[in-house]
Structure 1
Amino acid sequence: MIAEPLVGAERQQLVIGVSAGLSVLADVRRSVRSWLTMTDAAPCADEACLVTHELLANAMEHGSAGEGSRVEVRLDVVSRAGLLRITVRDEGGIFPTEPSGGTSATEEAGRGLSIVSALSRAWGMRAGNSGKSVWATLGI
């Protein structure tokens, strides 16, 4: 795992690169929480960690190009705008489906993007040259 914080007066950024594998989720959550507590986004650290976890878990389980492929997590705090943008980029070409609200209470999976949608101001996805990015924006 590579964590690279960039801090400026108006913008604060953290970039974490990992190899796809569910074993890195806890390490990424800890790094994100630790970094957020030192930024203007500290008040939304709980929500941001949950959104980051869900986007990363989806990328690793459904969207990555396979075990060991690269996944990038990027957090951008824009203090003047009062926003935190979380972006997860993977090398896969499979796009997530919009939440339909049809997940039953007994199902073990399928709520990730519904959680992201409920906690964020906006979320979406975009294709890249080698894979895709899924992003969410939270107010701080």
Structure 2
Amino acid sequence: MRRHVRGGGPTTVGAPSAQLSRRLTHADLRAVPEARRELRELLRHWGRPGRSDIAELLTSELVTNALVHTDRDAVLNATVTPRGLRVEVRDFVGRRPRPRVPTADDGTHGRGLVLVQALADAWGVRAHGVGKSVWFELAADGPDTDGV
């Protein structure tokens, strides 16, 4: 697992952006809590209360999907600016993900993209020559989300 963080410190108005970039090794689910921890550090001084919690949740969903539903490595990129956060998880499989309504038989599976769709300010899928990126954005000044 390689990680690269640029920038750092508080992200206040007029401050430059900060970035996290990390290669995720195929089927290494230890990368999920590690990615959450690294994102939490990146977002330590960012946004309204609760926004970082949502960012961590959505990032872990996208990372988990990339590691569980593909047979390849993935790449996590997060960019935080005073205005917002953009997280992309790129994998190297062209099959497009689709949100689906989970059933009671699914246990905890099938909820990742439904959560992203419900909680992100924007999200989508971008095709690449090989593979795709699933991304979401959160505004720093989004609604107060205490209790999420």
**CA distance in 1 between partners of 2:22 and 2:3 (Å):** 4
Aligned-residue Cα RMSD (Å) equals 1.8
For 1:50, the equivalent position in structure 2 comes to: 57
Q: What stretches of structure 1 of length at least 5 have no aligned partner?
A: none
1:32 aligns with 2:39: yes
**CA distance in 1 between partners of 2:36 and 2:89 (Å):** 13
Over 3 Å counting, the alpha-carbon distance change for 1:105 and 1:42 in structure 2 is same
Q: What stretches of structure 2 of length at least 5 have no aligned partner?
A: 9-14, 141-148
Map 1:58-73 → 2, pairs under 5 A: 58-62=65-69, 64=70, 66=71, 69-73=72-76
For 2:143, the equivalent position in structure 1 comes to: none
Taking only the aligned residue pairs, the percentage that are identical comes to 36
Contact 1:51/1:115 (<8 A) preserved: yes
**CA distance in 1 between partners of 2:16 and 2:36 (Å):** 24
Contact 2:18/2:42 (<8 A) preserved: no
Over 3 Å counting, the alpha-carbon distance change for 1:30 and 1:42 in structure 2 is farther
Of Structure 1 and Structure 2, which has the larger fraction of its residues in strand? Answer: 1
**CA distance in 1 between partners of 2:77 and 2:120 (Å):** 16
- TM-score, structure 1 normalization: 0.84
Deviations 1:85-113 (A, max 9, x none): 110001111110134xx323452111111
Counterpart AA for 2:36: R
Over 3 Å counting, the alpha-carbon distance change for 1:15 and 1:42 in structure 2 is farther
- TM-score, structure 2 normalization: 0.79
For 2:145, the equivalent position in structure 1 comes to: none
| CA shift for structure 1 position 139 | 1.3
After the TM superposition, list the runs of 4 or more consecutive aligned residues in structure 1 that deviate by more than 3 angstroms.
none
**CA distance in 1 between partners of 2:93 and 2:31 (Å):** 18
For 1:19, the equivalent position in structure 2 comes to: 25
Q: Tell me how many residue pairs correspond in the alignment.
A: 131
